[in-house]
């Protein structure tokens, strides 16, 4: 399911078309003030109103055949996939908590809002299908930012064939809040949960860790040439949907979870849900060289940073040694994505980090409010 760049491009053109339409017909200077000669006045979402904003989104939506009643009614009506289960998840992006508009572009806000939810579906082995979008917007938000946010969200929706089937727009007396509910589908025998790990299972990780934190820090510093790839991974994470689907369909994973709150947290959650322990090999952790150097230059252990940092939307999964063939089959199906064996599931219910110098307790993960 490669991103379909054609759709992204079409979306952007449509946006500019819409914007130019609005600018040419909008009642500027209605308070009697003359317009500045060059700069167009900033239009805010409060100027446009809720209904016009909703139409700006719905005009760009394509209705799949299984959508019986789409946006514009009291609720969306959807034909479930025959013989499959529904999968539901919701996750929110709050300005000042999950993103900073000074260095996260509007399209990245929209991209992230859907991506973090698709990452949750991926961790269940589910195929994404639909999304509901709840926007809580400050009155003063400019329409260009709104359009950019919608662009970013619809671009990744299109790439993963997700239909936006409903939503709502409301005012915010505080931060911008983007709340998304994602709906997926999975066959019963392909569901991946956190609770299936057994002692002796191997622990694997897709991609690399520590990139999200390094990218965020680099963006906060105003951007770094060396960290461009990590900045992109922070801004526009690519959820591991194909990997999750392949792990599920090949029945290659005994447990699976995404890394939204960091690797240490994911290890802890999978171990706890499975009633087992996990030992992680520090030396095996896939940390990109520039990320390693980034953390070392800040006097910080790259291993600790990779374990505790968030915003890496990779999958942690476990697999039985006897299912090595299944795992290879799954890997062939999801292509060039790196998969690294990083540890093992243990009978003793401890969470350990094994280093050259011995074993010690795994550090804690990230938690909101803490």
Backbone angles phi, psi at 11, to 5 degrees: -55, -45
Tell me how far, at minimum, the Cβ of 296 lies from a copy of itself, in Å. Answer: 31
Element (H, E) at 268: helix 263-274
Tell me how far, at minimum, the Cβ of 311 lies from a copy of itself, in Å. Answer: 14
Tell me how far, at minimum, the Cβ of 44 lies from a copy of itself, in Å. Answer: 9
**Residue 191 corresponds to which tokens in the numbers above?**
């569901």
Q: Which of residues 350-369 bind a copy of itself (CB under 8 A)?
A: 367-369
Which residues, 6 or more positions from 154, have their beta carbon under 8 angstroms from its beta carbon? 7, 11, 60, 61, 110, 164
For a copy of itself, give the closer residue by CB, 138 or 290.
138
Q: Does 76 bind a copy of itself (CB under 8 A)?
A: yes
The stretch near a copy of itself (CB under 8 A) out of 48-56, 202-210, 230-238, 295-303 is: 48-56
CA distance 291 to 218: 11
Q: Does 172 bind a copy of itself (CB under 8 A)?
A: yes
Question: At CA 298, angle to CA 313 and CA 370, rounded to 5?
Answer: 55
For a copy of itself, give the closer residue by CB, 34 or 102.
102
Q: Does 42 bind a copy of itself (CB under 8 A)?
A: no
Tell me how far, at minimum, the Cβ of 274 lies from a copy of itself, in Å. Answer: 12
Q: Does 338 bind a copy of itself (CB under 8 A)?
A: no
Nearest of 51, 55, 27 to residue 41 by alpha carbon: 27
The stretch near a copy of itself (CB under 8 A) out of 13-21, 192-200, 334-342, 345-353 is: 192-200
CA dihedral for 99, 105, 108, 109, sign (positive or negative): positive
Residue of 8, 11, 15, 91 interacting with a copy of itself (CB under 8 A): 91
Which residues, 6 or more positions from 308, have their beta carbon under 8 angstroms from its beta carbon? 262, 263, 264, 363, 364, 365, 366
Tell me how far, at minimum, the Cβ of 90 lies from a copy of itself, in Å. Answer: 4
Residue of 9, 28, 49, 226 interacting with a copy of itself (CB under 8 A): 49
CB atoms within 10 A of CB 173: 7
Rg (CA), the chain: 22
Q: Which of residues 132-151 bind a copy of itself (CB under 8 A)?
A: 132-134, 136, 139
The stretch near a copy of itself (CB under 8 A) out of 222-230, 251-259, 279-287, 306-314 is: 251-259
Q: Which long-range contacts (CB under 8 A, 24 or more apart) does 38-45 make?
A: 42/142, 42/143, 42/144, 43/142, 43/143, 43/144, 44/139, 44/140, 44/141, 44/142, 44/143, 45/137, 45/138, 45/139, 45/141, 45/142, 45/143, 45/146
CA distance 169 to 176: 11
Tell me how far, at minimum, the Cβ of 292 lies from a copy of itself, in Å. Answer: 28
CA distance 305 to 302: 5
The stretch near a copy of itself (CB under 8 A) out of 118-126, 204-212, 220-228, 294-302 is: 118-126
Q: Does 94 bind a copy of itself (CB under 8 A)?
A: yes
Q: Which of residues 213-242 bind a copy of itself (CB under 8 A)?
A: none
Tell me how far, at minimum, the Cβ of 51 lies from a copy of itself, in Å. Answer: 6
Tell me how far, at minimum, the Cβ of 74 lies from a copy of itself, in Å. Answer: 4
Q: Which of residues 272-291 bind a copy of itself (CB under 8 A)?
A: 273
Strand positions, DSSP E, 240-366 = 255-258, 277-281, 315-319, 339-346, 351-355, 358-361
Q: Which of residues 301-330 bind a copy of itself (CB under 8 A)?
A: none
For a copy of itself, give the closer residue by CB, 15 or 190.
190
Tell me how far, at minimum, the Cβ of 35 lies from a copy of itself, in Å. Answer: 22
CA dihedral for 221, 313, 76, 165, sign (positive or negative): positive
Tell me how far, at minimum, the Cβ of 323 lies from a copy of itself, in Å. Answer: 21
Residue of 40, 62, 68, 226 interacting with a copy of itself (CB under 8 A): 68
């Amino acid at each position: 399911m490669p991103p379909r760049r054609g759709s992204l491009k079409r979306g952007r053109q449509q946006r500019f078309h819409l914007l130019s339409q609005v600018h040419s017909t909008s009642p500027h200077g209605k308070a009697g003030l003359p317009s500045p000669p060059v700069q167009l006045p900033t239009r805010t979402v409060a100027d446009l109103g809720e209904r016009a904003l909703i139409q700006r989104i719905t005009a760009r939506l394509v209705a799949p055949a299984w959508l019986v009643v789409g946006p514009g009614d009291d609720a969306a009506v959807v034909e479930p996939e025959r013989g499959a289960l529904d999968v539901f998840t919701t996750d929110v992006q709050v300005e000042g908590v999950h993103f900073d508009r000074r260095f996260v572009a509007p399209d990245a806000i929209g991209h992230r809002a859907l991506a973090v939810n698709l990452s949750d579906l991926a961790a269940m082995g589910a195929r994404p299908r639909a999304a509901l979008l709840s926007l809580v917007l400050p009155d003063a938000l400019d329409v260009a930012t709104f359009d950019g946010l919608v662009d970013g969200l619809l671009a990744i929706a299109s790439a993963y064939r997700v239909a936006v089937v409903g939503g709502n727009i409301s005012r915010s007396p505080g931060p911008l809040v983007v709340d998304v509910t994602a709906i997926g589908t999975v066959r019963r025998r392909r569901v991946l949960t956190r609770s299936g790990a057994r002692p002796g299972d191997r622990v694997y990780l897709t991609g690399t860790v520590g990139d999200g934190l390094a990218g965020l820090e680099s963006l906060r510093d105003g951007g770094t040439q060396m960290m461009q790839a990590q900045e992109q991974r922070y801004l526009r994470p690519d959820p591991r949907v194909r990997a999750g689907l392949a792990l599920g369909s090949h029945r290659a994973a005994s447990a699976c979870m995404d890394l939204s709150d960091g690797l240490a947290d994911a290890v802890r959650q999978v171990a706890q849900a499975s009633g087992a322990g996990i030992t992680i090999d520090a030396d095996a952790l896939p940390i990109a060289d520039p990320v390693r150097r980034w953390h070392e230059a800040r006097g910080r252990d790259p291993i600790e940073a990779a374990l505790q940092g968030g915003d890496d939307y990779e999958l942690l999964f476990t697999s039985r040694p006897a299912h090595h063939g299944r795992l290879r089959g799954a890997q062939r199906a999801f292509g060039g994505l790196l998969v690294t064996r990083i540890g093992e599931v243990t009978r003793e219910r401890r969470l350990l980090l094994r280093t050259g110098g011995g074993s010690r307790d795994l550090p804690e993960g990230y938690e909101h409010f803490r």
